[in-house]
């Protein structure tokens, strides 16, 4: 009779999602063929988004709306009917504010920074076959409590290795994987048990840098391509449509963005009246910014909402989702707020800006699944799985190396 672990290898691979947010990473993981058993998230509006998606898709995913520090990983493992080593993927992106170059950057002196190491706590209990973490690039040079530059990253990698994992890191630009956005984030994938993981190669590239390339990649997706067919948003009349395609631009902001050309920002347009530019400085490059039709979007931000390339209005949450690579069938819950200001819980624009673009998550998750499948197929020698031989590169692979 087959052992329980042998049976699980033939089943759908299972994942646990930490800091799930609006489920961007999870959407990609699901598309790659994993089943997400549970999501842990503290924000109530994100949990409403998660719960609605689980219900509509008729999944059995558990939504745990709580502070992750209140959860005992071993108890959760028992609740999910798992034993150590049975979880295929532990994934998520902890809060980034303490590592971001924008803000106070208190790193591990900020309790939000310490949440990064919750992945270690869960890995110690679950012993997953693979771990996928996402963070801002500021993690790589974030100082530890002793002031050592890059100390936080080194500590994280050391803890992963101490648990028996082989961690690999890459800074990934979302535009290289079909997302119409120049977003760059750090991804760390750690595997155990001989799984030979390699990050997926880019499928798209900057056309300006590929003019003399023998095997050019597809060009970056543009804002025009991403927003094609989305249609006109409905006006803000207190009725929130299911697809979140609603224009909530205040009259004052419509006046201020008027006259700013496509692809520019208000502070740059010195010919406009001082009362229109107000107190903006030359450093305010993301405030009152219009996107360009023929380029990928700037990185979507929580602090400001970008403006439509040609219309005097904010982009809608649905347009943000298009720029992030969410499917049109995915719906958001929670309020739609103004463009700036401090809020305790995440409105719909911020839910998207905080999330991982699903196409990026899918590409990485598919590579993880391939590595785990290959590890299961390989014959064991002396009880160990040995790495696969190098793959033969195709023309597309060679082309991607030029990026």
Dump pLDDT digits (tens) for 106-126: 555 566 658 899 999 999 999
User: Within a domain: residue 158?
Assistant: yes
User: Within a domain: residue 79?
Assistant: yes
Catalytic residue among 96, 107, 196, 302: 96
Range of the domain at 122: 4-207+356-400
**pLDDT tens-digit readout, 47-105:** 999 999 999 999 999 999 999 999 999 999 999 999 999 999 999 998 766 555 565 55
Measured between alpha carbons, how far is 184 from 337 in angstroms, rounded to an integer?
25
In the DSSP assignment, the letter for residue 304 is: -
User: Within a domain: residue 361?
Assistant: yes
CA 373 centroid distance within chain = 24
CATH number at residue 152: 3.40.50.150
Is 96 marked active-site?
Answer: yes
Percentage of the chain with pLDDT > 90? 71
User: Within a domain: residue 384?
Assistant: yes
User: Within a domain: residue 122?
Assistant: yes
367: helix, coil or strand?
helix
Instruction: Please name the residues in contact with 237: beta carbons below 8 A apart, sequence gap of 6 or more.
Output: none
pLDDT exceeds cutoff 70 at 380: no
User: Within a domain: residue 288?
Assistant: no
For the chain, the average pLDDT equals 88
Measured between alpha carbons, how far is 387 from 166 in angstroms, rounded to an integer?
12
pLDDT band at 214 (very low <50, low <70, confident <90, very high): confident
**pLDDT tens-digit readout, 230-261:** 999 999 877 789 999 999 999 999 999 999 99
**pLDDT tens-digit readout, 133-175:** 999 998 988 888 888 888 899 999 999 999 999 999 999 999 9
Is 257:288 a contact under the CB 8 Å cutoff? yes
DSSP strands (E only) in 42-183: 62-65, 89-92, 130-135, 166-173
Measured between alpha carbons, how far is 17 from 372 in angstroms, rounded to an integer?
18
User: Within a domain: residue 294?
Assistant: no
Is 365:132 a contact under the CB 8 Å cutoff? yes
User: Within a domain: residue 173?
Assistant: yes
pLDDT exceeds cutoff 80 at 341: no
Number of structural domains in the chain? 1
């Amino acid at each position: 009779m087959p052992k329980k672990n042998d049976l699980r290898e033939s089943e759908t691979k299972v994942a646990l999602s930490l800091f799930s947010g609006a489920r961007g990473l999870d959407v990609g993981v699901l598309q790659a063929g994993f089943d997400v058993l549970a999501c842990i998230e503290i924000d109530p509006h994100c949990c409403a988004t998660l719960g609605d998606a689980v219900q509509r898709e008729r999944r059995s995913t558990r939504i745990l709306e709580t502070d992750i520090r209140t959860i005992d990983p071993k108890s959760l493992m028992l609740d999910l009917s798992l034993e150590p080593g049975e979880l295929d993927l532990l994934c998520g992106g902890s809060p980034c504010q303490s590592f971001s170059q924008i803000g106070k950057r208190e790193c591990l002196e900020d309790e939000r920074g310490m949440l990064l190491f919750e992945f270690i706590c869960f890995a110690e209990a679950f012993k997953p076959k693979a771990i996928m973490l996402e963070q801002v690039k500021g993690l790589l040079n974030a100082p530890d409590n002793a002031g050592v530059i890059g100390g936080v990253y080194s500590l994280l990698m050391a803890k992963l290795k101490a648990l028996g994992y082989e961690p690999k890191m890459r800074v990934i630009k979302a535009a290289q994987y079909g997302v119409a956005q120049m977003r760059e984030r750090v991804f760390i994938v750690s595997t155990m048990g001989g799984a030979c993981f390699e990050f997926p190669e880019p499928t798209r590239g900057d056309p300006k840098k590929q003019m003399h390339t023998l095997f050019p990649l597809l060009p970056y997706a543009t804002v025009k391509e991403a927003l094609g067919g989305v249609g006109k948003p409905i006006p803000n009349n207190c009725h929130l449509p299911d697809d979140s395609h609603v224009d909530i631009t205040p009259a004052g902001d419509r006046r201020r963005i008027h006259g700013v050309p496509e692809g520019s920002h208000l502070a740059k347009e010195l010919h406009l009246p001082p009362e229109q530019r107000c107190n903006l400085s030359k450093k305010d490059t993301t405030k009152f910014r219009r996107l360009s039709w023929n380029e990928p979007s700037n990185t979507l931000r929580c602090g400001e909402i970008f403006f439509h390339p040609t219309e005097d209005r904010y982009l809608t949450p649905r347009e943000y989702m298009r720029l992030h690579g969410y499917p049109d069938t995915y719906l958001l819950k929670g309020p739609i707020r103004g463009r700036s200001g401090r809020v305790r819980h995440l409105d719909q624009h911020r839910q998207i800006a905080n999330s991982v673009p699903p196409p990026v998550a899918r590409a990485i998750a598919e590579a993880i699944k391939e590595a785990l499948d290959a590890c299961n197929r390989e014959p064991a020698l002396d009880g160990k799985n040995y790495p696969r031989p190098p793959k033969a590169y195709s023309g597309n692979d060679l082309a991607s190396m030029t990026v």
